[in-house]
Each structure stands twice: as C-alpha cells, then as structure tokens.
Chain A
Amino acid sequence: MIPAGFDYHRPADLSAAIGVLQEHGDEARVIAGGHSLVPMMKLRMAVLSHLVDLRDIPDLRGIEIGSDSVSMGAMVTQHELISHEGLAQAVPLLREAALQIADPQVRYLGTLGGNVANGDPGNDMPGLMQCLDATYRVTGPEGTRDIRARDFYESAYFTARADDEILTRITVPLPATGTGYAYEKQKRKIGDYATAAAAVLVGEGFASIAMTNLADVPVWSAEAGAALAAGDREGAVKAALAAIDPQEDMRGPVEFKTHVAGVVLRRAIDRALARVAGGNS
C-alpha cells in the first residue's frame, strides 16, 4: 500500500519532460493516469526516484477526427474515448472496447497512451491498436519517430519505446464506411484482464484480427485476417489459434485458454460480420 518516496515533476511541455528523463535515466518514469504505475509502486514492484507527471502538457491531449484518420493524444482518458462526440461513429470499435476496460473510476483517469505503452499483455488496447493498424508517435532527445502498433511489442513490459522517449499520439486509420467490428472479451469479472479477447474488423475483401492476453505480447495474425477476408471463418480461427501462446495462470490452464480464445474469436467474427454495412446490431 505504501510506495517508496520520490521527487515529483510536473513539466509544462514535452522537452522539459524529456529533459527530466534524460537527467535521471531509469530512476525516472512518466506518470499518466497512474492506474498501472501507482498500484505497482504501492506493491514496491516499481521503485522510482523521480516521477514526471504529463498532465500539464497540452500536446498530449485532444481527439482529432480527420478525413482518413483519427489522432488521439496519449493522455486522452478511457472516459473521453467513450464519451467523445463523433469518435463512436468514426471508430466504433474503440468505444466498444473501452467499455470493457476496468471500471468507471479507473476509466476517468487511465489513459489510452498509458494503456498501449504499459507493455502488460493483459491490457486491451494494444491488440485493438494492432487490429486497427494504429501508429504510435514517440518523441525523445533524438527527435520524433513513428512506430506501428504491429511492431511495437517485444515481450511482456518490453516495447520499442526507449526509456527517454515519450509516447505522444496514437493515430488510427479510419475504417471504410460499413466496416464490421467487434471486441469480444472473456473475463472473470468487471475490471479483470481478459482470459482471452479478440478484436475483429471485417469489410469487403478485407479483415483484421488481433487477440489479447494470449501470449506475452498482443497477437495480430496476418493469416487469420487473410482467411476471414476470403470468407473462411474456420480458417481464420485456426490461423489465429496457431499464433497464440497462452500461459497457465489463475485464469486457467493452456488448454482452457486456447478453447476460450476460439470461442471469443468466433463470437467476435460473427458479431463483426453482422455489423458489416447492410447488417444491423
């Protein structure tokens, strides 16, 4: 419950924040919503000498819906994703998934950027972002670079972001009008990470499939997407299940998780297909 002591920084712009990270190296960490970091600090699984609060940096805020993509600041909260006018229409998959993350209080503070940068395979947004083919923008001492979500995750808690880089924005291409979508998550209770979850987008001659918490990274399967795009539902399920590598834990043994993965993926595919333009619900 009691975290170790730290010095607190609240920079007003990105370069000042990066300056603190450079100065203190791995003794410093950024804090966004704090709803993964603070719990880890309270258990002393994270002990940091410097916390850099990103809340006062305007560049990290805002949701902009463009003609072919949506750009979201890293500090946009789950609550904002859910309640934003227009986003639910532009990328309805985001709202559907955000409502399955944590609980109301956590969603008021937990951010999209924190969710995708955390690196915990239990987080829902990473697989979702891979399904949507999102791009993450990071800024560090050397400047700014873009990393595809599909290339971002290396292993549990290890990502392509360097320690002195800050994730600033997440950009998602707008799905074509009428694209079917679904995020199907099996969990033990509200607020739990998934036993298995599947994100599906499907349209005319196109499909994308990613899965959550079934390996040490989110799993996006090109083969599964290709199979579904060709109308082969069972082929898609088979390809996705071949790509996962679940580990036994309190959510169940490997066989169970593999079974649940197939169930949620079939449900997600069916729901997404029913939502393809012309379908309803």
Chain B
Amino acid sequence: MEQMRLYPRLDDQVLNKQLSLVKQVFIQGNAETRLEAMGYRVGFVLVEKIAKDIPRMNGELERMKFLCKEFWTAAFGKQIDNLRTNHQGVYVMQDNEFFIFSDFEAGKQYVETSAIYLALPCGIVRGALYNLGINCVVTSSVENLPVVKFHVHMQQKN
C-alpha cells in the first residue's frame, strides 16, 4: 500500500503481485487438501510397483479386493479387516489397527487430531484406485482409535 502511494505507476505491478499471491493461496488449499494431493501421487506410483506381476483384474469388486489384500499388505503392513459394499458404488473398508495410530492412545481422546493424519492415506487410496481404473472419492471416519474406516464413493461412469 505504501508503495502504491509513493509510486502510482507501480500500481499494476503491485496489484498483479497481490493477485498472483491470492491465486496461489486458493490453488494450494488447506493442509488436508495438500496432503491428500501428495498421497494421491504416492498411491498412483505405489500401486504400479505392487501390481506389476499380477494378472489383469476384471471388475470393480476384484480390484477392491486387490486393494484390500495385496496393496494394503504391501503398503500398510496388514490386510483390511472388513470390506463392505452396497453394490451401488459405495465401499467401506475397515482397518482395526491402522499403522499410523499404533503409537496413539486408543479410544476417543485423539479422534479430532486423527483427521489430519488420515488425509495422506486417503490420497494414497484414491491414487491407487485411479491407477487401477477406478475414479472415486475417498474419505475416512474414526470413532475409536486405532480403528479407521475408509469410505470409497465411485464416480458415476459416463
């Protein structure tokens, strides 16, 4: 502002700079979004490394099963404990002891804090599924640590 008063000719330049800063802030989003985007990248590459020697999978369910067994074991050290679906594009995967929370106090105390820790894994799952040909939205929910539920919503195919 000071600058603008002293050098009116600089107006454009200063405004542009401000504008680009504002744009940057909006593109980058909040911490969760950015972590999710990082996870997406990781999952996208990781699934290729894990799935390279595996025969072609047909159908959504088979891919989800691959994700719950092979992928989960290779990436997070154990299998998913429970996979449920409503057969209309919504899957719920339950991990009874997600590795990130093995050092957390079990119970409800850190449920709120856990959200930020789950942004990256959600991205990993989304990236992995995307590279398997499934376009989806992944969210997570926690009621009692260290039990984590991942919700996968398939995008409508056009």
Q: Are A and B interaction partners?
A: no
